[in-house]
Structure 1
Amino acid sequence: MNDTYITIKHYLNGPPRPSWDLKFHLTWAMLKSALESSHTTTIEQAQKNFSLFGLTPADEVINEFKIKNEYRYEAQAHIDKILKPYEHVLDTEWKDLKDDGIISEWVQNPNDGWENREIRKTILYLHGGGYCTCSKESHRNVTCSLTKKTNARVLGKFKINLKRIQPLINYLVKISFIAINYRLAPQNQFPAALQDALAAYLYLLNPPKDAGFEPLNPKNIVIAGDSAGGALSLALGLAIRDSDLPPCAGIIGLSPWVDLTQSTPSVLNNECIDYVPNTVAGATFAESQVYSEYKEKAAALTAKIKNQNLGPKIWHDSFDRPNGRFQLYAPNEGLAIPYVSPMLAESLCNLPPLLLTIGDDERLRDETIYFAHRSSEPTKYKGPSYNAGKFEKSPFQTPTNTTLEIYEDMPHVFQFMEHACTEKSYERMAEFVDRVTNSLNESLPPSSYNYISAKGEISPSLKEYHKEVLKWEKIGILPSNAQN
């Protein structure tokens, strides 16, 4: 669909949702068209297209560096321990590092004085892209603009337009952001991305002597991400908890992809007007060398798991699919691993405070709702049926302080589009960061589930249809009509 067609349709028939202006409608249509045509693009081309180099303003300072592999090896030691029950369904290739470190960068204003502040608020941001696309370079012009307006450093991955986030600017002055290029699938399978994310966190806690800053207090660090990056942020929170490492101050998930089994109803709801296609799983690309190698390795691993009976079966019968892999990121047999699908974890307790933000018209809505209720009310909302009884045996029993926000009319990761909901969302994120880092010297409010109107008005209760997923009996079970 071209811009002219969408523009005519917008004014003749109205937008898909009443609060959308033309610019919002055009952006939505562009994203929808791009995602629906992914099968005509190779993985290599898609990764290149989403990793284009961004322009750097002349008055900004980019400090690009590498987080050395010593931090990956330290992360590997922790991940090896927590993945011990699942190692028989995973390829060990993630341990074979093919480079000498994680390409990263700080973006800052000259002489910002961040190193000398008492509370050095820092956000470690992990980008989305289905675990297989995007990079820090593709958003460098945005992070530079952000640091210019906020007098902050940037070490993170953003998908936002500065002109649309003035409320964030008003609150997030003098906050640092960190950006890393974590390894992408399908070339790098789970847990490669988790290893890189944990390595970045360990780097912030114990930087080398030449890093230019002293070790950060974890209570000054907020981990955040969107879509797959939102799920990776939550998986990182679980990994930190399970490794008995110092917890961060809080975690923000924007439209987090917490259930790679796509088991909740909203994923396949035909009434949903999200730009994400009606299946978030089984992404297909045009044939290429990378895609062929991936499918060959995936088939060999599945055969090895099932034919040699390497360990106990940890997957549900619905995960057995004759056409092969369901996801590019992890094998079917590993979809229920909590660091792959955080919603399916045995326990979501004892995590740092969470802020989970989703659009009311997005396909990942239901899984985020269920995740929020499981984390804050763990005895009432359990995991999948095949994990029955495991929560009671978990050492983590303290409910997690969780704030859920559902925004009216909004699609997946709406924060990069201009709208009243975008402004309200960034304002709420800024307030959350200030609270969890104790910048406001205020205690956190109790867990809450909020509905925010298209005008940005907050209601501290959900609609009845939001609660339907809480009665869903097929949590973590692959739908029979899901594609692969």
Structure 2
Amino acid sequence: MGKHKRPQTLHSKSGADAPNGHKSPAANGANGVNGANGVNGAFNAQRKPDIHQNGNPPPHQRKFPPPSIFQRALLKGILHRPSDIFFIFRILTAAIWAIVRLHCFELPYHILTRFKKSSKQHPAEWAWWNSVFFSVIRAGGSKVSTMGQVRFIGHLIEHTMQIDNFFIKNVKVTRGVQFKVNREILLRPERATLAEVREELRRKGFSHDPLNPSQAFFESLHPKGGPNAPVANMPEEVGSIDDDGTYTLKGEWIEALDDPKNPDPRPRSKTVILYFHGGAHVFCSPKTHTHMLARLCKAVGPGTRAFSLDYRLAPENPFPAAIHDAFAAYLYLTEPDHAALALDEESAAHELAVDPRDLVVGGDSAGGNLAATFMLYMARYVQPSTEPKFVLPHAALLLSPWTDLTSSVPAAKNVDWYCYCPGPIGISPLDKNAYISFKENYSGYYLCGEPDLILNARNGFGVDRRWEWYSHLVQHPLASAAYSVEGTLAGLTNTLVQTATHDRLVDDSRLYAHRLGLENPGRLTRIEIYKDMVHVHQALPLLFKSARIAIDNLARFIERSRYIRDEHERISVTPSRSFAAVLRKVPVRESHADQGGEEEEVAKVAKVKAVPAFMQPTMARGKSAEDGVEWVVVEQNGRETAGDEGTAINILINAWPLRTQHAKEE
């Protein structure tokens, strides 16, 4: 597989002249790519005071001292305070009490009912020891109250989840891969796209300095106006990076190998999965997901590779650092010689560029949020200022994605004990008192950081300023995508969302899938709701058969999306709802007759081409007439039925606390 190089240029919406009067590379002729005025030089003169210059950190980074040795220890999950010793004692006590309560109060009831009725602690469909396991996890997790404790639990999860690796054969894992990222070069497309928005603020005299932001700047982070609203402004990163303006990203490669004893008859796969791990944006790492990605690569077929990114976490690097890291990882895979990257020897071993047509993006929980917002970032902030356009991943796999950081939907507030995921983990942008008193505000950590451990421009000036940042950032479309303004999600890719009835984020997943289907009628959007399963159950294949079924369904969706991509390129027609219907062997309705020859051409090809096995109706395809989404409920034995489970969608739509406020203002 050879390198796929693409000359990249940046342009502004005003034509030949880039922002601030600089010529765009396209207008510079021979100097377009690598010349003095090309992609590596055209925007050098645009550096603002908040960007590294002459080897000095930006003012908002110099303003605050680095964390102390004790704070750094807590950020690494090293517990050393007396209260931390008491925390471990409380975890052990809670775990023991959970086991006692389950066996003394719940077990007799289930014996009398012959395990045919569910209780608060034990769903009737589960094995008893599954309930014991989750009761212990849930009880212990409920005692976590500080970031140091969260990171400590993260280390325990890292070691526990690797047990499954012993059961997986014929997989190659390469750890220690790292590469340098030049943030200024990386963000040039974003800055070019936002040039008009930021110039308008400057023209009116409004500050966008992170140390002294104006109210107009805050409001530009979530503009109103529906589909005609300007693109939402982006805040500058407030985390620390090296003095030369670079930082290091790490990750690991996972590859499915051939089984010499049982050769796979399928053609060798070229699929590469760019994956983002979960962990509320504050803990976990690629190590916690190695086993799940290994199973997924094997399910897709030999040759399949996954790159699991160890993106920067909050509170050290709050929003939008992780989204920028996702873009850098995309460049690492598709354009390893990009000017924004510098690869070490280990990374250079994987420098052979991936064909972006073979790329799939995925993530779970907070990583699902990152996968969804990465696609949105590419579509809204990178593509408008880049020529030729990037080829985006043909499929997105979102496992229990966290798409509403305010925890406004009903499931986020659920108190049942089936799911180990705590809830709620976010706060309404209208409730300042709750924000101040809430200790487990993971969305607050992600957006503003943790002032008790590491100060930055958003949390270093008191609780009022921190609340101001939070209440506006939580409304940003790259934070709470499920509640972004109408039209924001248009133009995205084929997407599979997997969630579960006992998932704390099931309503986040369902609402996002509904919005995605409405705004992308020409794309394949499918949501699978697994009965009696928990948050990211795919990571627990040793406990649940449904986890293994879900991983197989992920692999089948990748193949299905690839098939649609290939058919689209072969027929050379613009994707449309009717085109997707033809691929599913559904007759084209008369309402599409005005498209004439295009529909006839698609229909002819569909008749003569056999549909592969993964396209046969073994996957339920109950497509909703309302939003164009395939709503599927999956039983524990794998049987699929068309339908939905959970709170009505119209209730979820109206759960957004700002919806009523915006209606009053209009």
TM-score (norm 1): 0.73
Q: CA RMSD in A?
A: 3.8
User: Are residue 128 (structure 1) and residue 278 (structure 2) matched?
Assistant: yes
Label 1:248 to 1:24 Cα distance change in 2 as closer, same or farther (>3 A). Answer: same
Q: For 1:256, what is the secondary structure of its paired residue?
A: coil
Q: Does 1:403 align with 2:526?
A: yes
- Does 2:367 align with 1:229? yes
- 2:280 alignment partner AA: G
Mapped partners of 2:472, 2:565: distance in 1: 45
Tell me by how many angstroms 1:131 deviates.
0.2
Question: Residue 376 of structure 2: SS of its match in structure 1?
Answer: helix
Match of 1:424 in 2: 549
Say if 2:499 and 2:509, in contact at 8 Å, map to a contact too.
Answer: yes
C-alpha contact 2:538 2:547 (8 A) present in aligned 1? yes
What secondary structure does 2:632 align onto? strand
2:562 equivalent in structure 1: 437
User: How many pairs align?
Assistant: 413
Q: In the alignment, is the contact (CA less than 8 A) between 1:194 and 1:236 conserved in 2?
A: yes
Matches within 5 A, 1:322-333: 325=467, 331-333=470-472
Letter in 2 for 1:130: A
Q: 1: distance between equivalents of 2:109 and 2:642?
A: 33
- Once the two structures are superposed, residues 116-145 of structure 1 have per-residue CA deviations (whole angstroms, 9 ceiling, x without a partner) of x985201111011000001123445x27xx
Q: Unpaired segments of 5 or more residues in structure 2?
A: 1-94, 111-120, 199-207, 209-216, 219-234, 260-266, 338-342, 384-389, 428-437, 442-448, 568-579, 585-622, 624-628, 662-666
Q: Tell me how far 1:175 sits from its aligned partner.
A: 1.2
CA distance in 1, matches of 2:350, 2:146: 45
Distance in structure 2 (CA, Å) of the matches to 1:254 and 1:430? 13
Deviation at 1:82, TM superposition (A): 5.4
Aligned to 1:5: 100
Mapped pair 1:341 → 2:437: no
Over 3 Å counting, the alpha-carbon distance change for 1:461 and 1:44 in structure 2 is closer
Higher relative contact order (CA 8 A, sep 6+): 1
Which of 110, 124, 142 is the equivalent residue of 1:18?
Answer: 124
**1:217 aligned to which of 345, 351, 355:** 355
Report what 1:251 is aligned to. 396
Question: What residue number does 2:504 align with?
Answer: 363
Kindly state the Cα deviation for residue 103 of structure 1 after the two structures are TM-superposed: 1.3
Letter in structure 2 aligned against 1:217: D
Q: 1:458 to 1:211 in 2, by over 3 A?
A: same
* Contact persistence 1:370–1:469 (CA under 8 A): no
Amino acid in the other structure paired with 1:342 = A
Match of 1:462 among 627, 632, 644: 644
Q: Secondary structure in 2 aligned to 1:38? A: coil
Q: 1:281 aligns with which of 402, 406, 426?
A: 426
Kept after mapping to 1: 8 A contact 2:256/2:301: no
CA, structure 1 residues 272+237, in 2 after alignment: closer, same or farther (shift >3 Å)?
farther
User: C-alpha deviations, 1:53-79, integer Å up to 9, x for none?
Assistant: 969879955253212214x54432234
The one-letter amino acid paired with 1:101 is T
3-state DSSP of counterpart to 2:124: coil
Q: CA deviation at 1:440?
A: 10
CA distance in 1, matches of 2:516, 2:356: 21
Distance 2:102 2:418 in 1: 18
Contact 1:123 1:223 in 2 (8 A): yes
Residue of structure 1 aligned with 2:379, choices 232, 241, 260:
241
Name the CA distance, whole Å, in 1 between partners of 2:137 and 2:333. Answer: 34
Give the aligned partner of residue 377 of structure 1: 518
Question: Structure 1's 295 and 367: CA in aligned 2 closer, same or farther, altered over 3 A?
Answer: same
Tell me the CA shift for residue 261 of structure 1: 1.5
Show the counterpart of 1:101: 248
- Asked whether the equivalents of residues 61 and 110 of structure 1 are also in contact (C-alpha less than 8 Å), the reply is no
Aligned partners of 1:470, 1:300: CA distance in 2, in Å? 37
Rounded Cα–Cα distance in structure 1 between residues aligned with 2:192 and 2:406: 24
**Which residue does 1:382 correspond to in 2?**
none
Task: Give CA-to-partner distance per residue, 1:376-402, whole Å, 9 cap, x none.
Answer: 124xxxxxxxxxxxxxxxxxx765431
Q: Is the 1:94–1:191 contact (alpha carbons within 8 Å) kept by the matching residues of 2?
A: no
> Which whole-Å CA distance do the structure 2 matches of 1:212 and 1:221 have between them?
15
CA distance in 1, matches of 2:369, 2:320: 13
- % same residue: 21
Distance change (3 Å), C-alpha of 1:437 and 1:30: farther
**Matches of 1:66 and 1:297, distance apart in 2:** 28
State how far apart, in whole Å, the 2-side matches of 1:290 and 1:466 are: 33
Larger Rg, first or second structure (1 or 2):
2
Q: What CA deviation, in whole Å up to 9, does each residue of 1:182-239 have, x standing for no partner? A: 1110111101111111100111111249343532222211111110000100000101
1:301 deviates by: 5.9
TM-score for the superposition, normalised by structure 2: 0.55
- Cα-to-partner distance string for 1:279-333 (whole Å, 9 max, x where unaligned): 12267369xx96514477544467896xxxxxxxxxxxxxxxxxx559xxx7232
- The equivalent residue for 1:66 is 178
- Classify 1:187/1:111 alpha carbon distance in 2 versus 1 (closer, same or farther; 3 Å): same
Using a 3 Å threshold, how does the CA distance of structure 1 residues 125 and 69 change in structure 2: closer, same or farther?
same
Cα distance between partner residues in 2 of 1:425 and 1:110: 21
Contact 1:223 1:248 in 2 (8 A): yes
Q: Once the 2 structures are TM-superposed, how far is the Cα of residue 276 of structure 1 from its aligned partner?
A: 2.3
Q: Is the 8 A contact 1:261 1:478 kept in 2?
A: no
Deviates more, 1:130-139 or 1:92-101: 92-101
